[in-house]
């Protein structure tokens, strides 16, 4: 019996990076909803339930840490992964806003995200 589809929200203002993230997540049987900035991501999050959110940090309209803070108020349990070229800065901003999320480096994103998703799938099983 095939695993049930999971749904991921991919929030990044860079279309090529979104495409790379989407390719990785689709290989793990995720359906994808895309958002082009933090505000768009929050609006889409309010419209449906997600199993996973990937969040860029440096974006127009609403930065990643601010968007994560709003999303955490809406759903404390959704898995959120930060992806940023300035991941130490994102970690600091998230701590300032009192939100804890794993933050992965965009420079090594394909390998790191693939290994991370494998790990959560192994640990959580089908959602």
How sure is the predictor about 120, in pLDDT bands with cuts at 50, 70 and 90?
confident
How far, in Å, CA of 89 to CA of 111, rounded? 21
Q: What is the pLDDT of residues 77-102, one digit of tens each?
A: 898 888 877 767 777 777 777 777 76
Q: What is the pLDDT of residues 108-118, one digit of tens each?
A: 667 777 777 77
Residue-level pLDDT at 111: 74
Which residues lie closer than 8 Å to 104 by C-beta, 6 or more apart?
Answer: 81, 82, 83, 84, 87, 112, 113, 116
Q: 75 or 124: whose pLDDT is higher?
A: 75
Question: pTM score, two decimals?
Answer: 0.82
């Amino acid at each position: 019996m095939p695993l049930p589809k999971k749904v991921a929200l991919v929030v990044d203002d860079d279309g090529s990076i979104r495409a790379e993230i989407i390719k990785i997540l689709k290989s793990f049987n995720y359906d994808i909803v895309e958002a082009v900035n933090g505000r768009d991501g929050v609006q889409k999050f309010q419209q449906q339930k997600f199993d996973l959110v990937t969040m860029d940090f440096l974006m127009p309209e609403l930065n990643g840490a601010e968007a994560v803070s709003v999303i955490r108020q809406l759903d404390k349990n959704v898995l959120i992964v930060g992806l940023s070229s300035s991941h130490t800065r994102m970690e600091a901003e998230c701590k300032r806003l009192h939100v804890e999320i794993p933050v992965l480096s965009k420079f090594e994103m394909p390998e790191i995200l693939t290994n991370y998703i494998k790990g959560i799938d192994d640990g959580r099983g089908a959602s």
